[in-house]
Structures are given as structure tokens and as C-alpha cells.
């Protein structure tokens, strides 16, 4: 990825869709309407700990801040939290790479009806424990740039999913 600013937050969302194209959500630990799984990474915290990183699970040291050079391309390994599901034939997996938290699109009233609230007593829009939208943590001059994903050719982008074949 590259950014026109010195940092970027990436939010990866693994989703399931039924044969008609409707998202299938699951009851999560923090919300009754969650995607299959999610992963997050602040690009300046991209350094991996080689002793703890495995093929399927990058482990970020978070021991130093490495600002981005604007418009330079960086390789990032983003962990998507482990999970296990079986999708019926005809269902599809999708990976969404976003610059903001996953938002399932419920209105505030629908979220209120679910009686799911964040720590700020506002209806929750996302199944995560916290929203990543506080301008004190994400100042626009640092996080408000244009982020570009580079794929194919010289940029070996991939998603590593273990698949257990049917018996």
C-alpha cells in the first residue's frame, strides 16, 4: 500500500454473502450482527516480530513507530482474527479493505432497538469494541490521505486462508 500522508489505518473485513448477494452476519462476542472476521493495522506499526510470526498469523511488535514516506509502496501483513465457519455451496467469501471501521449500515434507531451501545452510550454501528474515529487519534493531516492498494505484477498481494476440504 501507499499513502499520500505519513500514516494510514487499514481495516480488513472478511464477509460471507448468500447466493442472492445479501451479506450473512453472525452473532459476535460484542454485537449480534458481525461479519465472519476482521483485522486492523496502523501502517506505522507494521514491523513484524520474526520470532512470534507464523505463516498464518503475523505478530506485530508495536515497539516503534515507522512513519510512511508519502507515495512510497509498503508491504503490510494484516492479521484477520482466526475463526471457523462452513459456508454452504453457492455462498461467497469477500475481503473488504477499508480505511474505516466496518459499518453494517443499521440506522441509529435499529441499533437502539437491538439495545447494543458503545462505551459512549451511543448506538453501535460496528461489531468492534471501539470505533476508530476519534480525530485526536486520527488527525486528518496524518490519516486523511489517499491510500492506494498495489496488487499484481511486482506487488505479490494475497489472502492466506486455510481451507478444510469437505469429507
User: Could you tell me the residue ranges of all domains in the chain?
Assistant: 1-104+133-152
How high is the pLDDT of residue 61?
96
Q: Band the pLDDT of 131: cuts 50, 70, 90.
A: low
C-alpha cell at 34: 458481525
38, 11 contact by CB (below 8 A): yes
**Does pLDDT of 119 surpass 60?**
no
Q: Which residues have CB under 8 Å from 106's CB, separation 6+?
A: 33, 114, 123, 125
Q: Band the pLDDT of 125: cuts 50, 70, 90.
A: low
Cα distance between residue 42 and residue 158, in whole Å: 19
Q: How far is CA 47 from CA 37, 107, 108, 135, in A?
A: 22, 38, 38, 24
Architecture label for domain 1-104+133-152: Sandwich (2.60)
By CB neighbour count within 10 A (0-12 exposed, 13-18 middle, 19+ buried), where does 61 fall? middle
Q: How many CB atoms lie within 10 A of CB 131?
A: 16
Percent of the chain clearing pLDDT 70 (strictly above): 80
What value does the mean pLDDT take over residues 51-62? Answer: 94
Amino acid at each position: 500500500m501507499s499513502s499520500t500522508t505519513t500514516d494510514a489505518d487499514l481495516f480488513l473485513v472478511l464477509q460471507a454473502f448468500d447466493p442472492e448477494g445479501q451479506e450473512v452476519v453472525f452473532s459476535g462476542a460484542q454485537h449480534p450482527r458481525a461479519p465472519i472476521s476482521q483485522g486492523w493495522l496502523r501502517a506505522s506499526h507494521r514491523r513484524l516480530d520474526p520470532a512470534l510470526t507464523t505463516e498464518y498469523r503475523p505478530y506485530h511488535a508495536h515497539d516503534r513507530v515507522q512513519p510512511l514516506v508519502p507515495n512510497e509502496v509498503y508491504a503490510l501483513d494484516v492479521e484477520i482474527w482466526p475463526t471457523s465457519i462452513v459456508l454452504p455451496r453457492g455462498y461467497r467469501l469477500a475481503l473488504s479493505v477499508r480505511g474505516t471501521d466496518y459499518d453494517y449500515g443499521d440506522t441509529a434507531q435499529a441499533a437502539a432497538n437491538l439495545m447494543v451501545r458503545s462505551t459512549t452510550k451511543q448506538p453501535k454501528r460496528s461489531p468492534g469494541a471501539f470505533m476508530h474515529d476519534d480525530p485526536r487519534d486520527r488527525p486528518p493531516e496524518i490519516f486523511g490521505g489517499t491510500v492506494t492498494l498495489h496488487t499484481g505484477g511486482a506487488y505479490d498481494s494475497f489472502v492466506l486462508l486455510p481451507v478444510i476440504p469437505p469429507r
